[in-house]
Structure 1
Amino acid sequence: MNTPFKGFPEDAERIVYVRPIAVADLAAELPQEAQAEMREQVGEAEVIYSVHAPNGRRLALVADRNLAFHLAKAHDFAPVSVH
């Protein structure tokens, strides 16, 4: 049986990658003065989720995986989970 699957867009540029990112790793990327603000926004979370374009550019940081997938779909992207 050959059933077409319309889950992914035909254009590879419409795919985004969702991956977990440790808050500690993210903080290490930031200047010292920005770390406190980031910590305030993240709260007690140890892991947040990053949404990336196919070229690796970070598009968004969100609180959880479900939110990352909903965000991508709301903007007509096809999210793919990566490690």
Structure 2
Amino acid sequence: MQTPYPFVPDGKIAYIRQIDVANLPQDIRAQVPSGAEVWGVHNHEGECLALTQDRSTAFFVARENDLEPVSAH
């Protein structure tokens, strides 16, 4: 994927998006409370790096790992 943010060095962008719990592996789904939201932090290639319980925490996790977070849909 070509990063559409020229001011961010390659490999330093994190895409934040909400994850459908039904698409998670069974062992992870079992840990998610009923009705809870799950947000993913993804690298520039789409690989999920982390799961969080809300959007603001996902942005925080990205920044704490020297990544520049942006919303993805």
Task: Settle same-fold status: TM greater than 0.5.
Answer: yes
Q: Determine helix, strand or coil for the equivalent of 2:14.
A: strand
In the alignment, structure 1 residue 60 sits paired with structure 2 residue 50: yes
Per the normalisation by structure 1, the TM-score is 0.70
Task: Provide runs of 4+ in structure 1 moved above 3 Å.
Answer: none
Cα separation, partners in 2 of 1:54 and 1:44, compared to 1, 3 Å: same
User: RMSD of the TM alignment (CA)?
Assistant: 1.9
Aligned residues: 68
Larger Cα Rg: Structure 1 or Structure 2? Answer: 1
Q: In structure 2, list runs of 5 or more residues that go unmatched.
A: 1-5
Q: Determine helix, strand or coil for the equivalent of 1:12.
A: coil
Q: Is the 8 A contact 2:11 2:43 kept in 1?
A: yes
Q: Which residue of 2 aligns with 1:19?
A: 17
* Letter in structure 2 aligned against 1:82: A
In the alignment, structure 1 residue 75 sits paired with structure 2 residue 73: no
Residues 41-82 of structure 1: per-residue CA shift (max 9 Å, x gap):
211234311111101111111111110000011111100001
Per the normalisation by structure 2, the TM-score is 0.78
Name the CA distance, whole Å, in 1 between partners of 2:31 and 2:23.
15
Q: Which has the higher helix share?
A: 1
Name the CA distance, whole Å, in 2 between partners of 1:78 and 1:10.
7
Identity, % of aligned positions = 40
* Letter in structure 2 aligned against 1:56: G
Q: In structure 1, list runs of 5 or more residues that go unmatched.
A: 1-7
Q: Greater CA deviation, 40-49 or 15-24?
A: 40-49
